[in-house]
């Protein structure tokens, strides 16, 4: 619904990014390695610098400074993401989401495929 061809609204990039981030958190390992924990922290940190809306990125950087990502487990990371999203929701005057329900709202990538060795082709584990 953008009026100018190719231009993406703040809302669109926001929805796409939250879909990406909550899906990523839903597939984050239950027992992440040191490297996986570093990767999750680095991803969030990089977003505070490259998110394609300067004002949003600056607010997000402050949010991450005050509440660094919890990357010790899938549950921790999913809840942290939910709380971070709620902080943004509050700032924008949007309703907050009940984080007790986050694992049913965002349950990972839809996938029925197998990789030929009987493993789910979408899982990272």
How many other CB atoms sit within 10 Å of the CB of residue 86?
16
Q: Can you give 61-80 as a three-state secondary structure string?
A: HHHHHHCCCCCCCHHHHHHH
Q: Does 80 sit near ligand FAD (CB under 6 A)?
A: no
Decide: is 74 part of the binding site for ligand FAD (CB under 6 A): no
Closest to 85 in 3D by CA, of 9, 36, 30, 20 = 20
Q: Is 61 in the site for ligand FAD (CB under 6 A)?
A: no
| Interface pick for ligand FAD out of 28, 37, 40, 60 (rule CB under 6 A) | 60
Q: Which stretch binds ligand FAD (CB under 6 A): 28-36, 66-74, 84-92, 113-121?
A: 84-92
Under the binding rule (CB under 6 A), the answer on residue 44 touching ligand FAD is no
Which residue bears the tokens 């600056």?
58
Total residues at the site for ligand FAD (CB under 6 A)?
22
Those residues with Cβ within 8 angstroms of residue 60's Cβ, 6 or more apart along the chain or in another chain: 47, 48, 51, 84, 88
Judged by the rule CB under 6 A, the positions of this chain that interact with ligand FAD are 10-11, 14-15, 17-18, 22, 51, 55-56, 59-60, 82, 85-86, 88-89, 92, 94, 97, 102, 105
């Amino acid at each position: 619904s953008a009026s100018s061809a190719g231009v993406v609204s703040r809302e669109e990039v926001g929805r796409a990014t939250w879909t990406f981030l909550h899906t990523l958190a839903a597939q984050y390992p239950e027992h992440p390695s040191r490297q996986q924990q570093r990767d999750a922290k680095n991803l969030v940190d990089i977003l505070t610098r490259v998110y394609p809306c300067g004002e949003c990125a600056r607010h997000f950087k402050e949010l991450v400074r005050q509440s660094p990502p919890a990357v010790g487990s899938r549950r921790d990371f999913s809840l942290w993401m939910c709380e971070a999203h709620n902080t943004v929701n509050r700032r924008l005057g949007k309703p907050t989401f009940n984080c007790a329900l986050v694992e049913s709202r965002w349950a990972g990538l839809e996938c029925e495929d197998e990789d030929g060795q009987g493993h789910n082709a979408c899982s990272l584990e």
